[in-house]
Amino acid sequence: MRFQQLNRDPNTVMRKKLVKSKKNWVVVSSLSIAGGLFLLGAPSYVANAATTTDAVQQEVVTPTSSDSGTTSTTASDGSTDTSSPDNGVTGSATNGTKETVKSDSEDTNTPINGTDDKSATSGSTTNSDGTGNNGTETTNGDGNTQNQPQVQAFSAESTPIVEDTSATKNSGNGWSYDPDTTTLTINGQLDEGNGSYQEDRWGGNTANITTIKTVEGAIAPVDSSYLFANMTSLTSTNSDFSHLETGDTINAQGMFTNDTSLTTPDFSNNDFSKMENISHMFENDHALITIQLGAMPFKSIVNGSYAFADCENLTDFLGQYSPQYSSTNAWYVEKDTVANLISMFKNDKSLNTIQLTTWGWKDGTETGDSSLGEGMFDGTNLSSIKISATLKFNPKTALTSSKGIKWTDTTFGQSFSGVPTFDENGNPTGGLGSLYTGISTTQLQGKDDLKNKYLVWNASGVPDSTTQVSNLVTIHTTHDGTTSDITTTAHGTWNSTVNVKVPTSYSFDPNKSPYVTSVETVPVVLGFTEATATDTVPYTPAVAKSGNVSVKTSNGTSIDIPVTAADTDTIGDTKTVTVTNDQIKNLAPGYHLANNAESTDIEVKFISPTTDNPDITGTSTSTIELVGDDVAAINDGSVFTNQGTNKDIPVTVTVPAGTIGTTVHVTVSTPGYQSEDILATTNVVNGQNVVTYTDKDGKVIDNDNPLTLTGNPVESKDIDIPAIAGGDDETQKVTLKAGKVGDTQEITLTKDEPGYTNPTIVVTYGPNGELTIVDKATGNPITKEAPAKYIGTPNKATTITFTKPDGTTQVIDIPEGAGNYGDAPITYTADSVNGYTSPSVIVTYTIGGVPTISYASDPNKTVLSTDKLTYTPIPTNSGNTDNQENGDIEYKNQTISTYADKPAVELYQLGQDGKMTLVTNRSLATATDWQSDAVITVDGVGYYRVSTNEWAKMSQAYPYTAPNVYVRAYSDSAKPLYKAESDLIKNRSLAANSSWVADHQTYVINGTKHYRVSTNEFVDEKDVYEYTPVNEIVTTHSGSSARLYTAKGDLVSNRSLSAHSSWKTDSITTINGEQYYRVSTNEFVKAADIDVNR
């Protein structure tokens, strides 16, 4: 409440106090003069208090005999006026006007908190008895009621009832006020606003100001929010804003709002170009007719919401230069910022045209949803409008008019409906926003020519009784004694009555609970674009439902308390609910109410259940104090731990006695590791006490997150590691680094062995000096009995093919890595076949990585790639042949050859008497090869069988194998040749390093292995070596140079191949079980030392 500043004696103090008088607030004045206190008279201000509490009783103070029925007031000029009360009305304000105070049940339409949010509804204010008026009520002494202009009011609910010693003042920074002429003069820099209405902005004289004068040097603040708001007596007649500098003003929010007497303000000399926030600037200026703007009108609009809303008599925005053009033609919306233009011209029914020709705004700018009553042009009644082709409107923004149901442009004749329409999928089919979608997607005709132009639209289309129209429908409502309007849409034929669906639930205040109604529809007569329902819909607070309320407890959890709503409980009500100890025991097992209380009270606020939480009926800010039940000590608790590399190892702990929900300290201790302190909390889960362990960081300890223990220190020391390479003992001494119990150390044995990879071991430090040593590759423990194993060179894949008697084959695949150098040889035997001895071979893994295959019957004899591994027939017990042959027959498959330098070999038949008879018509030619499957000795002479019953003497042929291999003479000298008859050939020999193809291999010459290199010329195996011809490139390893060897395996001491060098090779041979590649005449490199370039 404000009071006029009194001109008074320094020893005189006027005090006024707000008290309750039945349903009225009254102000009691007292005058203190030189220490004396006098009661001056009856209430000087009266306000309706019908909705306030009954705690303050009505008290009307009347003059006592001591003051002779007179009251004394000091006028502004210092004179004293003594008068008698007239009809009980006393205490008039010093300027002769009465100040009116409204209760909180009345709506002043005046922003109090300075926010520019505005409800989607609007309507007239309503008194507590439900009647509406456009002003406030003042109760006179005779009890009559009269309407007064609206003034800024305070809420009796929100304003403290305290002694008010404030008083009006008549000057401030940049201004002065003359109470005699009620003129405000602005003569300097005004104080900055704060975004909200300041009741004391003009010393408490706001409602009394009728005229504003400005002089040179008058400067409006950057934040001019609500600067001249609520000046209900301000008129345009004598006001002069011409000297007010507004060029730096950015925030003009509510600057002239609620100036209900302002009619034709002139701002032709003012600069509005920097004003970004003009929201609510002239809102509720009901008498406003025109606004004269100058050469610098609005150029930077960012927030224009409700800027000119509810200016029902506003006809035009006058421009500076061209009277025929609206000033709006020169306005600009800030193009780089998303703007808010909702309800900008709402209910400005007297405007005839608006020109948006220069307007442009950023995509996303909001022009409002008219179905919610927030459209930019809702409630206007334009005849024409000019719109830039570049604009984009919300598809739900309407353009209402009583002059036509649609808008038609004067250039192309295209049109859109005044009220938006949509298809079943919600896509706009009509309305302003269906065409104005932004220049890149606009459906406007001639859009390519209109990118920087505009179209003029005229209201058109007078409907008849068959015309389908869409209307914005206003529905009047009441709630809590207040009237408000809500907006919806309706469709039908013009002038017909349709039933419009009423929202069953509606939020009149976003900060309060919604209201409900039982009214389903209201009748509406459809107009051109707007209609108003004739019935008023009553809304009441929604009835609360029974359900659950989540309430916090002192242990940090929440429990759902069941709440039963009474029939009188409504959404938004607050109710005290009693919670018993028995309920707590069921809802929070293991807990009871603190202080052994039998019950406790909580405060519940009812809310509307939601689809996601249909059982939640309210909220509560209360906290229930709980105490946990007693818990006995637990001696066999189990905590999961990580101990070095050992994971999830449970350790038994003791949990001290305590209570449910409280935390106790627990020590985790195990041999070899440092003890750890953790926390244990016992809770009830499914009726059982369950202990939860947490570490010092608050993380839960379980098998997914074990507690990591720190091992005790371990000193460095030397240990022996048993190891073998092949069959050789390679035990080595290694040094363990210092560490902790549980640590591991990887050690690779350092002693190198040709053809082997050094093994890596893992040592784990255990408690009490114990060590666990395992092979890293296998994970097997290493002991003297199971030493670490050097791994030989992995051998490549190979195959073994056995040929069965029926001609089919059996193939055995030996995969790569199946064996390593140093591994024991493996014998492979063909599948058994009845009546035959299965062939067997031995696979030996070499240092060169290529396995060698030899005959099991002759391990020194290599199986060549051309050899056929065949079965040997097993002789029958009777010894019979097909012709009942001699029992001394030995079945043996082999090949034989006749001598080259001897006559043809005679053949013999074995008779039934066991004797041989010469075959006179057949013989074996010299130097020919034959297959023999059996041998026999008759009368001391050995024979080979070469046909069914044809035999040749062994002395006239020799056995051989046909390896078809390449051999090369050693380089030390020429090599002698022999005949099959073992005779030395004296006139021929093999040149050193010469290469030959050997097709026969026999042991007939001097009992040693010889290779046939010509028809009857053989070379001793000791003078040559087998090789395989190749044509490849080999590259030595990059680590070191590669040594060279002779064909006999001797080291070439003066030559080697440099590291990572490439060489051409022509042959491969095996020397002492290892594979070599020839890179020079008699220089070979080990296969283990090179890579073959494939």
Q: For residue 64, what pLDDT is reported?
A: 37
Residue 867's pLDDT band (cuts 50, 70, 90): confident
Residue 449's pLDDT band (cuts 50, 70, 90): low
Partner residues linked to 72 by β-bridges = 82
Q: For residue 329, what pLDDT is reported?
A: 83
Exposure b/e, 233-247, CB count within 10 A at least 16 = b = bbbbeebbbebbbbe
Q: 439: Cβ–Cβ under 8 A, 6 or more apart, which residues?
A: 389, 390, 447, 451
Q: Is residue 499 part of a domain?
A: yes
Beta-carbon count within 10 A of 819 CB: 21
What is the 8-class DSSP label of residue 993?
T
- Residue 882: pLDDT above 70? no
Q: Where a domain ends, among 131, 148, 165?
A: 148
566: left (phi over 0), alpha (psi -120 to 50) or beta: beta
Q: Which of 103-107, 485-489, 743-747 has the lowest mean pLDDT?
A: 103-107
Q: For residue 549, what pLDDT is reported?
A: 94
- Residue 525: pLDDT above 80? yes
- Residue 951: pLDDT above 70? yes
Beta-carbon count within 10 A of 823 CB: 17
d(CA 358, CA 231): 33
d(CA 465, CA 494): 6
Tokens 């800010």 locate to 621
Q: In terms of domains, do 385 and 419 share one?
A: yes
What is the 8-class DSSP label of residue 434?
H
Q: In terms of domains, do 992 and 927 share one?
A: no
Q: Is residue 606 part of a domain?
A: yes
Look up the domain containing 682 and give its range: 630-709
Q: Where a domain ends, among 763, 791, 819?
A: 791
Q: 583: Cβ–Cβ under 8 A, 6 or more apart, which residues?
A: 561
Q: For residue 1046, what pLDDT is reported?
A: 95
Burial status of residue 923 (CB atoms within 10 A of its CB: 0-12, 13-18, 19 or more): middle
Q: 492: Cβ–Cβ under 8 A, 6 or more apart, which residues?
A: 468, 469, 498, 526
Beta-carbon count within 10 A of 928 CB: 13
pLDDT tens-digit series, residues 86-95: 433 333 333 3
C-alpha distances in Å from residue 842, one per residue of 511, 848, 864, 873: 94, 17, 13, 21
pLDDT tens-digit series, residues 262-288: 999 999 999 999 999 999 999 999 999
Segment 547-563 shows an average pLDDT of 92
Task: Tell me the HSE value of 979 on the side-chain side, using a 13 A CA sphere.
Answer: 13
What is the 8-class DSSP label of residue 437?
B
Residue 141's pLDDT band (cuts 50, 70, 90): very low
pLDDT greater at residue 422 or residue 97: 422
Q: For residue 438, what pLDDT is reported?
A: 82
Q: 345: Cβ–Cβ under 8 A, 6 or more apart, which residues?
A: 307, 308, 309, 351, 354, 376, 377, 380
Q: In terms of domains, do 1079 and 1014 share one?
A: yes
Q: Which of 112-116, 537-541, 571-575, 886-890 has the lowest mean pLDDT?
A: 112-116
pLDDT tens-digit series, residues 297-339: 999 999 999 999 999 999 999 887 666 667 888 898 988 889 9
Segment 335-348 shows an average pLDDT of 93
Segment 986-1013 shows an average pLDDT of 92
Straight-line distance from the first to the last Cα atom of the chain, in angstroms, rounded to the nearest whole number: 103
Q: In terms of domains, do 702 and 717 share one?
A: no
The number of folded domains in the chain is: 9
Q: Is residue 216 part of a domain?
A: no
Q: Is residue 348 part of a domain?
A: no
Please work out, in degrees rounded to the nearest 5, the angle formed at the alpha carbon of residue 753 by the alpha carbons of 749 and 757: 60
What is the 8-class DSSP label of residue 782?
-
Q: Which amino acid is at 389?
A: A
- Residue 946: pLDDT above 80? yes
Q: In terms of domains, do 581 and 476 share one?
A: no
Q: In terms of domains, do 1038 and 992 share one?
A: yes
Segment 921-928 shows an average pLDDT of 93
Q: For residue 292, what pLDDT is reported?
A: 92
pLDDT greater at residue 175 or residue 878: 175
What is the 8-class DSSP label of residue 955?
G
- Residue 61: pLDDT above 50? no
- Residue 131: pLDDT above 90? no
Q: In terms of domains, do 39 and 118 share one?
A: yes
Segment 706-728 shows an average pLDDT of 89
SS (H, E, C) 307-331: CCCCCCCCCEEECCCCCCCEHHHHC
Q: Is residue 176 part of a domain?
A: no
DSSP labels, 363-432: TT-B---GGGT--TTTT---SEEEEETT-B--TT-----SS-SEEEETTT--EEESS-EE-TTS-EEESH
- Residue 597: pLDDT above 60? yes
Q: Is residue 274 part of a domain?
A: no
Q: In terms of domains, do 777 and 814 share one?
A: no
- Residue 29: pLDDT above 50? no
Q: For residue 1011, what pLDDT is reported?
A: 94
Tokens 């051409």 locate to 1064
CB 586 within 8 A of CB 592: no
CB 236 within 8 A of CB 267: no
pLDDT greater at residue 34 or residue 971: 971
Mean pLDDT score across all residues of the chain: 82
Q: For residue 837, what pLDDT is reported?
A: 85
Residue 109's pLDDT band (cuts 50, 70, 90): very low
Q: Is residue 335 part of a domain?
A: no
Q: Is residue 240 part of a domain?
A: no
- Predicted TM-score (pTM) of the model is 0.48
Residue % of the chain over a pLDDT of 90: 56
Largest CA distance in the chain: 184
Q: In terms of domains, do 535 and 551 share one?
A: no
Segment 1009-1014 shows an average pLDDT of 93
Q: Give the length of the chain.
A: 1094
Residue 451's pLDDT band (cuts 50, 70, 90): low
Q: Where a domain ends, among 628, 657, 689?
A: 628
Segment 461-468 shows an average pLDDT of 91
Exposure b/e, 787-801, CB count within 10 A at least 16 = b = bbbbbbbebbebebe
d(CA 912, CA 152): 149
Q: In terms of domains, do 134 and 39 share one?
A: yes
Q: In terms of domains, do 591 and 694 share one?
A: no
pLDDT tens-digit series, residues 768-798: 888 999 999 889 999 988 998 888 889 999 9
- In three-state secondary structure terms, 181 is coil
Q: In terms of domains, do 490 and 383 share one?
A: no
